[in-house]
Amino acid sequence: MELPIYQVDAFTDKIFAGNPAAIVPLETWLPDETLQKIALENNLSETAFFVPNDTGFHLRWFTPTVEIDLCGHATLATSWVIFNELNYDKNSITFDSLSGKLTVTQKNNALTLDFPIWPYEQINIDPRITDALGAEPLELYKAPDWVAVYDDATIVQDMMPDMQKLSKIKECRGIIVTAKGTGDIDFVSRWFGPNEGIDEDPVTGSAHCVLSPYWATKLGKTSFKAKQVSARGGDLNCDLKGDRVFITGKATLFLKGIIYV
Residue positions annotated with a catalytic role: 46
165 within 8 A of 175, measured Cβ to Cβ: no
DSSP collapsed to 3 states, 186-230? CEEEEEEEHHHCEEEECCCCCCHHHHHHHHHHHHCCCEEEEEECC
CA 235 to chain centre: 12
Q: How many CB atoms lie within 10 A of CB 172?
A: 15
What are the start-end ranges of the E strands in 53-186?
57-62, 67-68, 92-97, 100-107, 110-116, 121-123, 139-142, 146-150, 175-180
Q: How far apart (Å, rounded) are the C-alpha atoms in residues 117 and 221?
A: 15
> If you ran DSSP here, which 8-state letter would residue 67 be given?
E
Q: How far apart are CA 189 and CA 101, in angstroms?
A: 26
The contacts of residue 33 (CB under 8 Å, 6+ apart) are none
E strand or H helix at 256, and its extent? strand 251-260
List, in order, residues 6 or more apart from 211 with CB less than 8 Å away: 147, 176, 178, 187, 189, 226, 238
